[in-house]
Amino acid sequence: MNVLVINAGSSSLKYQLFDMTHETVLAKGKVERIGMETAMLTHEPAGKQEIREVSEILDHTAAIRKVLRILVHPKEGVLESMEQVHAVGHRVVHGGETFSGSVRVDEEVKREIKRLFDLAPLHNPGALTGILAVEANLPDVPQVAVFDTAFHQTMPPKAFLYPIPGVFYRKHRVRRYGFHGTSHQYVSGRAAELIGRPLSELKMISCHIGNGASVTAILHGRSYDTSMGMTPLEGLMMGTRSGDIDPAIVPFAMDKEDLSLNEVNSMLNKHSGLFAVSGGLGDMREIVEAAEQGDRNAKLAFDMYEYRLRKYIGAYAAAMNGFDALVFTAGVGENSALLRKTVCDNLTFFGVKLDEAANARPGGGDRRISADDSAIGVWVVPTNEELMIARDTFEASRAALQPST
């Protein structure tokens, strides 16, 4: 059975096609700059040359059509016909309190994803557009929604409620939901396999640090607390998002700078974080390079980013009364040896001891980067949200496909 996984953002769409017999990737790629005349498709069929194609792709429906077409292309494709796409799985960022697991998409599920637009305006609209676009192109194929929030539905009320009047929760469902759940769940499961102990016996802290970034306290395999909140803005300092700030800054900024609600929202989501402190650099690679060349703002941005991350690790160690393993994942977590080193060198209090050579060694793959005598195991586990989505899609749509496949 072949499963197509779609991760639709506001202006981009990433995809991976899996053959679930052995969980092999048949092809993957992305469409960037959707909505423009110079949209770009990058397609990597397994075992063949990568293809890049610039063309006008005006919306997600057209982008999905383009992806499906290249998957069945006689030369660059990997399938003989579109009938060989048996199910489609989507990453949906916000599932509110309705979804604590993955679900088959039906009218009710689509309505609920739409109802949650207010809570994830940067993410949910793209996901629904992706679902509708697949429906338009492949009307009979089962679709499954996999939510970033689902894994965090196990958080206890003391972790997910905000200390504000109850009416906001009762009437508007204002609470902490948490995100990147598919990733936190995947890397914690993988780390337990590497450690060789059941997840149900372990206390872990996983750091998903990419463009968006969050830390999760995983107690015996379940999310116990996580740094993102009602929206993906709370918690860590990120590429362009502020993370935690004093909420009083919002009305203050609106008053002093005459900002509208939209403007202040955009300031905190798109013009803050590393980007703001460094004076225009939002990418960790650029920050590290500039800091090494003596740029003081870049150095300050790095220091703040690392310090805020480390404070969360300390908080979650206290929340769980200790921890056995620390896991790094996503773009920065997997690739920045400097960030990992700075964090770990300042956690010796907990008995963390880095294996400097293992940490500095380039190259991907799951690996332990703590010394043999470290009290806490420190791991790098490349995330694989797409594989998790493919597995859930396979499970959830198998029943529907039984008679025909």
189 is in an annotated binding site: no
The annotation status of 333 as a binding-site residue, yes or no, is yes
Question: Which amino acid is present at 2?
Answer: N
Is 137 annotated to bind a ligand? Reply is: no
Q: Provide the mask over 301-340, with x wherever binding to ligand UVW is found by CB under 6 A and - wherever it is not.
A: ----------------------------------------
- Residues that contact ligand UVW, how many (by CB under 6 A): 9
For the record, the structure tokens of 191 come out as 């780390």
Contact with ligand ADP (CB under 6 A) among 335, 359, 384, 397 = 335
Q: Does 179 bind ligand UVW (CB under 6 A)?
A: yes
Q: Report the nearest approach of ligand UVW to the CB of residue 78 (Å).
A: 26
- Torsions phi, psi of 180, nearest 5? 60, 25
Interface residue with ligand ADP among 29, 95, 178, 210 (CB under 6 A) is: 210
From residue 198, how far is each of 82, 190, 194, 323, 352 by CA, in Å? Answer: 40, 11, 10, 14, 21
Q: For residues 280-299, which are near ligand ADP according to CB under 6 A?
A: 283-285
Residue numbers 135-174 binding ligand UVW by CB under 6 A: 148
Place of tokens 């679900």: 103
Please list the active-site residues: 148
Q: Which of residues 245-284 bind ligand ADP (CB under 6 A)?
A: 283-284
Whichever of 66 and 123 has its CB closer to ligand ADP, that residue is 123
Residue 239 as a binder of ligand ADP (CB under 6 A): the answer is yes
Residue from 41, 92, 313, 330 touching ligand ADP (CB under 6 A): that is: 330
Distant-in-sequence, close-in-space partners of 91: CB < 8 Å, separation ≥ 6: 5, 6, 7, 8, 127, 146, 148, 182, 385, 389
Tokens describing residue 189: 């499961």
Quote the least distance from Cβ 33 to ligand ADP, whole Å: 15
**Binding stretches for ligand ADP (CB under 6 A):** 210-212, 239, 283-285, 330-332, 335-336
Known binding residues for ATP: 14, 208-212, 283-285, 331-335
Q: Summarize as ranges the residues that interact with ligand UVW (CB under 6 A).
A: 93, 123, 148, 179-180, 210-212, 232
* Residue numbers belonging to the annotated binding site for Mg(2+): 7, 385
* Residues that constitute the known binding site for substrate: 91
